[in-house]
Amino acid sequence: MIIKTCEQKLKNILDKFKPELAAIRTNRPNIQLVENLRVDYFGQNMPLKQLASISIIPPREIQISVWDKNALQNAVKAIEESGLGLFPVVDGQLIRLNLPPLTAERRQEMIKLIKKMTEEIRIVIRGIRDDTNREIAKMKKEGNLSEDQEFSHKDQVQKLVDKTNKELDDLLVKKAAEINE
């Protein structure tokens, strides 16, 4: 039971991290870059994906078709203030975003950012492992686990942590490769 709980927590951490990582700009346009930008719409703070359809026009363009013209200017403002370095061009109900190639300096900044994000996730993973190991030790102390079971459980937890860290490394390498394309 405690192992399953640990496994679920680790899975949740990765599931939460993947969209955050996808929102980091690369040289390749992707919808995740802008879909969760918050837009003020009649006093409500809504994600852009709820106010518009977003599509990719190869090689480097994102096209946003805002459904309500009243939301158009606020969507443009949200994009401009996002810090993504994108400059929206309004064409009727459409917003066009041409992604300029990343400079070498900007690529290094992005890689540094994803490494920092990854390290923060590793700290959370270590915390989950430590909490789980404390719970296992507590169960042994209360007599609910034998010493062999305690070591077996701790070994299983470490294997889960190693697997999660490997997945995290794979995500980091993949994203760094996308940035450097």
As a whole number of angstroms, the distance between CA 52 and CA 119 comes to 34
Q: Are 76 and 90 in contact (CB under 8 A)?
A: yes
Residue 15: what pLDDT? 95
Q: Give CA 36 to chain center in angstroms.
A: 11
Residue 114: what pLDDT? 94
Residue 84: what pLDDT? 80
Domains of the chain: 2-22+103-180 (1.10.132.20), 31-98 (3.30.1360.40)
Per-residue model confidence as pLDDT tens for the chain (181 residues): 889 999 999 999 999 999 888 888 887 888 988 999 999 999 999 999 999 999 999 888 999 999 999 999 999 999 999 888 788 999 989 999 998 888 899 899 989 999 999 999 999 999 999 999 999 999 999 989 899 999 999 999 999 999 999 999 999 999 999 888 8
